[in-house]
Amino acid sequence: MSQLSEMQVQPFGGLLRHWRRQRGWSQLELACQSEVSQRHISFLESGRSQPSRAMVLHLATVLAVPLRQQNVMLSGAGFAPVYSEHDLSAPELAPIQQAIAAMLHQQDPYPALVMDRYWTLLQANQGAQTLMAWLLGNRISYFEQPLNMMRLMLHPQGLRPYVDDWETIAGSLVQRLQHEAQAEGVDSPTVQLLRSLEADLPAPAAASLPFSSALPVLPITFVKANQHLSFFTIISTLGTPRDITLQELRIESLFPADAATARLMQQFHKDSLEHPPEQDGRFVT
């Protein structure tokens, strides 16, 4: 996050235009949604008018701009950032840490992961550790720390060999990354992650990989030693946060898609409690 994208060094007018176009809105549509005149929107984008601090925050809210980029828009307009960014372990976030720990524990014996905006693993419950130990064992040490879950999913030495219908799953994941990269601008961390994954993606190009499902969530099945574990995943975010770190948190929960998976995960969990596997610390957070 130390590298600034081209979008981030622009004046406010260019940033406003970028986010308006990201939403697919004309100046007139933004004017109607924000109750600001089209003329003033035009003057702001061209730099003929300078916004007040309140106007920056108002337009950013209407455009649903993430908090990190709202700080950037404020800076581009000559104002100090207003949104904090704490480390998740900071004392200020202790109540949130407790809430997340409770969510992870409640999800056991089924997997749950906490990741940041760039899919870096921050925390994992026992169910997730058990699943990864069953699938990868000590091969988890192949990957650089901290673990990036997109890289772990797509890499040939990672989860890829164990994912049923991998190309369809990869298509969905890469399309999500592409959408996020577009929203962040040139040379953002998400763009760099996407580029680093290109060598691990199959032909045809990632953009054309198919994805279809009757479910409104992502189904995924892991296969190893003739055993199938079928899940559907739900990614949750925190509502109305005032801190950048909290807004960017993703909590991914895997729920069993059938009774057989539920029984296997319950058995794995019981076995892991009775006979804890040797860990090298790579997936334990």
DSSP string, 215-232: SSSEEEEEEETTEEEEEE
Handedness of CA 213, 215, 218, 220 (dihedral sign): negative
Cβ neighbours, 10 Å, residue 42: 15
pLDDT value at position 1?
40
pLDDT value at position 278?
57
pLDDT value at position 228?
95
Tell me the sheet residues that pair with 229.
Answer: 222
pLDDT value at position 205?
44
- Which residue carries 């007139």 as its tokens? 28
pLDDT value at position 63?
94
Mean pLDDT split into 10-residue runs, the chain, 285 residues: 49 93 93 96 96 96 91 94 90 92 95 93 94 89 87 90 90 84 73 80 52 63 94 87 88 95 92 65 50
Q: Which domains does the chain have, with CATH numbers?
A: 6-76 (1.10.260.40), 91-274 (3.30.450.180)
Burial of 104 (0-12, 13-18, 19+ CB in 10 A): buried
pLDDT value at position 252?
94
* pTM assigned to the model: 0.80
pLDDT value at position 206?
46
Burial of 262 (0-12, 13-18, 19+ CB in 10 A): middle
pLDDT value at position 276?
66
pLDDT value at position 189?
82
